[in-house]
Structure 1
């Protein structure tokens, strides 16, 4: 669908609707595949991947990255800890916070799940979008995300 954005609110509404519905369908499909093959859901995969790639992250860092509240993030980390995939250690620079790390089991899980995640994304997108369209969409969404993050749009208040 072609969207007119200059003075065309309806076009922006359609763009938003397509964007959200695509995200929801992709997220749900990835969720189902990860649950089936690894016993985790997409939000857990994303948190584990972030922790693997950001050594010494705190709950606040996870919350900021995913634009969710500190309380919800902390509860999510509690679940990762309960499963034996992550641990909290005291933060030597700030006694009020903890540093998060993956366990060996968490590291193995995220590696295996990442293969499934990538293969599933390829299965869902390849053949629908060519490489140029995928690259253009990725660049466009990255630019929009950066602008929203820079202005701190949509950050949780609690």
Structure 2
């Protein structure tokens, strides 16, 4: 008879850790740059993904296209990115950072890194590396199953 390790406590800890890290980073970003962590993530994806579309963000973050579209509308209204016509698909648009969006992202990146480093300093680099590897395996398996 095999023993099954209860995964629920691990799940609850993971969710609580993620929530507290997310809220702390987001609060510092808002204070220093008037930017939430969700907006920061969108700007990072737009910056990193060549020819980024709303669908690309939705797929990466595992949220609905409608939610992404509304958030992108807010980023556009704030002057942080623009929608431009897709060169091959007239029904779609490509997202690009504005110069203001690029400056904001550049200024916010070190804040995110510094805050996360500070909040996770109680965990050894080796343990963080092991956690990252474990999460990568789990994430890949979950994304493959979607």
TM-score bracket for the superposition, by shorter chain length: over 0.9
- TM-score, structure 1 length as denominator? 0.89
Q: CA deviation at 1:93?
A: 1.2
TM-score (norm 2): 0.96
Partner of 1:155: none
After superposition, residues 32-111 of structure 1 pair within 5 angstroms as 32-111=27-106
Shift of 1:92: 1.6
1:17 pairs with 2:1: no
| Gaps in structure 1 of 5+ consecutive residues | 153-158
DSSP 3-state at the match of 1:101: strand
Q: Give 1:6 shift.
A: 4.7
Aligned residues: 145
3-state SS, counterpart of residue 55 of structure 1: coil
What's 2:4 paired with? 7
Whole-angstrom CA distance in 2 between matches of 1:40 and 1:133? 30
Q: 1:95, 1:80 → 2: CA distance?
A: 21
* Inter-partner Cα distance in structure 2 for 1:12 and 1:97: 41
Partner of 2:129: 135
Distance 2:3 2:78 in 1: 50
- Shift of residue 149 of structure 1? 0.5
SS, match of residue 4 in structure 2: coil
CA-based RMSD of the aligned residues comes to 1.1
Report what 1:151 is aligned to: 145
Distance (whole Å) between structure 2 residues aligned to residue 93 and residue 21 of structure 1: 43
